[in-house]
């Protein structure tokens, strides 16, 4: 009867591809920051994806700033 924390299960966003995923999931390779698909990638490959993901996030912020709020 150990008190285990079950509140950890909430949708997370993958740092590499931006996908929403559940964590932790039993049998899934997903980590706290990466979905199951990206978790198995080579570290240097994942780093490139993260870099692109950051650029996309930056661009999205800039685009939303360009569009008038009405």
User: Could you tell me which stretch among 5-13, 15-23, 25-33, 55-63 binds Zn ion (CB under 5 A)?
Assistant: 15-23
Whether residue 30 contacts residue 36, with contact meaning beta carbons closer than 8 Å, is answered with yes
- Assess 30 for contact with Zn ion (CB under 5 A): no
The footprint of Zn ion on this chain (CB under 5 A) covers a number of residues equal to: 6
Residue closer to Zn ion by CB (options 16, 23) is 16
Nearest one of 62, 49, 64 to 19, comparing CA atoms: 49
14 binding Zn ion? (CB under 5 A): yes
Residue pair 37/27 in contact by the 8 Å Cβ criterion: no
DSSP state of 32: S
Residues at the site binding Zn ion, with contacts judged by CB under 5 A: 14, 16-17, 19, 35, 38
């Amino acid at each position: 009867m150990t008190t285990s924390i079950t509140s950890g299960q909430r949708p997370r966003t993958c740092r590499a591809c931006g996908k929403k995923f559940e964590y932790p999931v039993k049998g899934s390779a997903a980590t706290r920051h990466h979905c199951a698909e990206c978790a198995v990638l080579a570290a240097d490959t994942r780093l490139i994806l993260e870099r692109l993901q950051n650029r996309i996030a930056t661009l999205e912020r800039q685009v939303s700033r360009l569009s008038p709020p009405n």
